[in-house]
Chain A
Amino acid sequence: MQRAHRPVFLNLARIRFPVGAVASIGHRISGVLLVIALPFAVLALERSLEDGSSLYAFTGWMRLPAAVLAWACAHHIFAGVRHLLMDAGVGASLPAGRASAYAALIAGAAVGLAALLL
């Protein structure tokens, strides 16, 4: 029986994602950002072991990328800890999972904002 290709409904804009999904995609995006930042991290390590040249130059145009990286670090760690706790059985229920997702999102955003303003 020949069947024509059937479309699928995957219009992400029309799908209402729960908070856990938002935390999860943030976890993935922050992870990818951190991987991209890895070479710069090794560079920073190298610079820090030489003569400390321009290690703390987070001024001007560097503030925004630095804040984004700060958010990425913080959110990835908070969301990661949330996952490790769920592995251990803590917070695996739906209400607890929602609450911890909100906590991770808010804490990560706070760190990013702080890095931007301070």
Chain B
Amino acid sequence: MRFRIYRLDPETQARPSWREYDVRLEATDRKVLDALERIRTTLDDSLAYRRSCREGVCGSDAMNINGRNALACITPLEGLSEPITLAPLPGFPVIRDLIVDMTQFFAHYHEIRPYLITDEPPPERERLQTPEERAKLDGLYECILCACCSGFCPSYWWNPDKFIGPAGLLQAERFIVDSRDRATAERLAFLDDVYKLYRCRTIMNCTEVCPKGLSPSRAIEHIKLQQLRRST
């Protein structure tokens, strides 16, 4: 199977380049990650990429596959047009080959304070929630912070330092709608900024590529709606 892979070794190259590979796959190689392992072990052991769980829950191997962001370990090889083009997440600083610097991305996550904020003393066992209140977290808590979404968002490409991005905003919404959190007003006020939230133009690229099937665009729309409610 033919591949075209983005290569960059900052110690030996000044600029990135594309390397072509024609790898013989075993019958058990079904996903892009399997092919990457096969290339690395049989053709070119200098190829660098992140991977861990190999089952789509850790988010390590997010990359651009034939033009769309996806997790390599759960993207089937079948159906991909050759040469299969693998590139790092768009817009993220490339450390080496398919490995990108996630510092900025995680900084935005920390920025939105991804933890429960409440003055109420902790109860005997747990802070209670009705099933309906818990259901509000569905579609938000499952995010694995793989960055497929933010890496596909043009608004994040143009302003990665100031725009929080779909992943961070989805997590912000996760805590805004959590019934146990008591800092809703502060969270919404923090996001009322021309850059932090309002660079979003509802392009919906994020929802198109989320490997967990989440909808950051819908979460962001809901944040804007709640802000509107609060100000009227």
Contact = CB atoms under 8 A, between A and B. Distances in A.
A10 B208 CA distance: 18
18 contacts: A6-B10, A6-B93, A7-B94, A8-B94, A9-B87, A10-B90, A11-B87, A14-B64, A15-B67, A17-B205, A21-B154, A21-B203, A24-B201, A24-B203, A92-B218, A93-B215, A94-B208, A94-B215
Contact of A92 (B64, B85, B203, B221): B221
Contact of A6 (B94, B152, B208): B94
Interface in B3-46: 6, 8, 10, 15-16
Contacts of B82: none
Interface residues of A, number: 26
Interface of B: 6, 8, 10, 15-16, 64, 66-68, 85, 87-95, 101, 152, 154, 157, 201-205, 207-208, 215, 217-218, 221, 224-225
Given A9-B91, A9-B92, 10 more contacts: A6-B10, A9-B94, A15-B67, A18-B208, A21-B205, A24-B202, A92-B215, A94-B208, A97-B207, A97-B217
A50 B66 CA distance: 58
Nearest to B95: A6
B91 A8 contact: yes
A3 to B, nearest CB: 9
Interface string A22-37: 0011001000000000
A57 interface: no
A20 B91 contact: no
Nearest to B10: A4
Nearest to B18: A14
Nearest to B218: A92
Interface in A72-91: 83, 86-87, 89
Specify which of A8, A17, A89 lies most central, judged by the most chain B CB atoms within 10 Å of its CB: A8
